[in-house]
Amino acid sequence: MIAVQPDVGGLNANLLLPVGMAVCFALYQLATRYFAAQDSALTSLLYTAAAGGVVSTLAVPFFWVPVQREDIALFVLIGLLGALSHFALIEAMRSASASLVSPFYIHSLFGQRSSAIGFSATIPLKPRLSGQALSLWQVVTSLSMSAINIK
């Protein structure tokens, strides 16, 4: 909520989008952990891709833009990297506890923010930076506590 700043512009319906995304991501994590214990990683990856494909197909008619020939290689690269990252996530959820794996999700926010700064030259606002600093502190303390518990 620090990054969203609901007190600045007041509460509106647009603030429900990040909340809905967080709920969907939490459900995705729970489902991934549940199915990783029962099925192979490739089977879980197939189910995830099929569900994502069905949901995405429902939105295609409203947002379709013809693909340029020079963009095809980038789409293939994005698909391969996405499949590899989902496979790694499934394997991580299968072999480690959620308390050890979850802090790495927060780390992805920093990669996303740096790519946004690099590609669009946008500088984040102070509240967003403070929210990310708080998240980084949470990652560091969680990993240090995990290291203490391992010893």
DSSP 62-118: HH--PPPGGGHHHHHHHHHHHHHHHHHHHHHHHHS-HHHHTHHHHHHHHHHHHHHHH
Which of 4, 25, 3 is closest to 13 using CA atoms? 4
* pLDDT > 60? residue 4: no
Instruction: Please state the domain extents for the chain.
Output: 1-95, 97-151
The pLDDT of residue 82 is 86
Neighbours of 37 (CB within 10 A): 10
Is pLDDT of 103 > 80? Answer: no
Distance linking the first and last C-alpha atoms of the chain: 35
Confidence of residue 44 (pLDDT cuts 50, 70, 90): confident
- Binned at pLDDT 50, 70 and 90, residue 76 comes out as very high
